[in-house]
Amino acid sequence: MSQSLTIRRPDDWHLHLRDGAMLQAVLPETARHFARAIIMPNLVPPVVTGTDAAAYRDRILAALPDGMVFEPLMTLYLTEDTDREDVAAAHASGLIKAVKLYPAGATTNSASGVRDFDKVRGVLERMAEIGLPLCVHGEVTDAEIDIFDREAVFIDRVLDPIRRDTPGLRVVMEHITTSNAVDYVKANAQDLGATITTHHLIINRNHILVGGIKPHYYCLPVAKREEHRLALRAAATSGDPRFFLGTDSAPHTDPLKESACGCAGCFTATNTMSLLAHVFEQEGALDKLEGFASRNGPGFYGLPVNQDSLTLTKGEVVRYPDKIDTGDGPVTVFDPGFEVHWHVTT
């Protein structure tokens, strides 16, 4: 006997679409199931002004296949030269929904990010005034800090001081990977939310390293110990509205992943909703899936919940493609390492 669950159509609050041929190939993988997504601005060159964001939005909409409905929620890339009034104008026009903070050198295409946080203080204060959220990639980049400790150190050294110095600033801790981040969100009731990815609910660092290096499980922030994965699962399935879905689905071609210096990122846009149903069922929390995927994110961003729905039905094994073909080369779809039985219909 099949089992079925209908929820409001979900949104993705952290998504990489890239540009050009890659954009054209991966956009349908998100638009098939998701109504909206917060679009990451770390292109080359990055999306740093309202003009940049408007042009990128137009390219995304032009790449959307006929018959698909999808709203890209644009962001700006915070640099030490960002103009606070350009940010405010882009927000007032409805063009952007957030500004993204990358510590310089933290992840893919983050070279233009922030090194001296005093230089962006004025922008952050203006954002607090107008209620514009700051999305943070929460890792320090100091060479002496172990890569598995970078998130916890970021909270203490960077994030907490920023929030104390900028009252009213709304912050999204993106793709959290540690119990430290879960605990920090729980201890701070106001103006703070966190996204959790699909893959961090499924893999820990052993999946990357045991039995040989698995480049398609390598991401940043890197997956941590099992105790942290379990803390993320507990947070995602708790019903706490401060935690919501942000896949951080990040397409890279296979040659860029499977190289001597492979790129960070897991491509999960294709199968995320099936995987989430599997995870939430394992945790006895299918009734919490709609909150995590469809309600908590809009609640934090002050947007309406989607009116249309998505249905998940448990049955025979779902066969997702191993790869997505793009004009730039093949992109491997995230492999959870187990059979998936939740089918998605809209």
Predicted local confidence at residue 294, as pLDDT: 98
Catalytic residues: 248
Is the model's pLDDT at 303 over the cut of 90? yes
Mean pLDDT in residue range 45-54: 97
Mean pLDDT in residue range 56-69: 97
Is the model's pLDDT at 338 over the cut of 60? yes
Instruction: Report how far residue 79's alpha carbon sits from residue 289's, in angstroms, rounded to the nearest whole number.
Output: 35
The region of weakest confidence among 81-90, 101-110, 151-160, 247-256 is 101-110
Number of domains forming the structure of the chain: 1
- Say whether pTM exceeds 0.75: yes
Predicted local confidence at residue 109, as pLDDT: 66
Pull the structure tokens for residue 128: 């607090």
Question: What are 202-245's pLDDT values in tens digits?
Answer: 999 999 999 999 999 999 999 999 999 999 999 999 999 999 99
Q: Residue 1: pLDDT band by 50, 70, 90 thresholds? A: very low
**How large a percentage of the chain has pLDDT more than 70?**
99
Q: Closest by alpha carbon to 105, among 74, 150, 161?
A: 150
Q: Closest by alpha carbon to 308, among 111, 52, 69, 130?
A: 69
Is the model's pLDDT at 166 over the cut of 70? yes
Q: Closest by alpha carbon to 218, among 138, 108, 324?
A: 108
CATH of residue 176: 3.20.20.140
Instruction: Report how far residue 337's alpha carbon sits from residue 198's, in angstroms, rounded to the nearest whole number.
Output: 13
Mean pLDDT across the chain, nearest whole number? 96
Concatenating the DSSP letter of every residue in 42-105 gives --SS---SHHHHHHHHHHHHHHSPTT---EEEEEEE--TT--HHHHHHHHHTT-EEEEEE-BTT
The region of weakest confidence among 2-6, 16-20, 147-151 is 2-6
Place of tokens 């209620």: 131
The region of weakest confidence among 1-5, 60-64, 105-109, 198-202 is 105-109
The region of weakest confidence among 109-118, 247-256, 316-325 is 109-118
Predicted local confidence at residue 105, as pLDDT: 76
Predicted local confidence at residue 11, as pLDDT: 99
**How large a percentage of the chain has pLDDT more than 90?**
93
Domain holding 114, by residue range, is 3-345
Q: Closest by alpha carbon to 14, among 285, 243, 343, 215?
A: 243
Question: What are 100-138's pLDDT values in tens digits?
Answer: 999 887 777 677 789 898 999 999 999 999 999 999 999
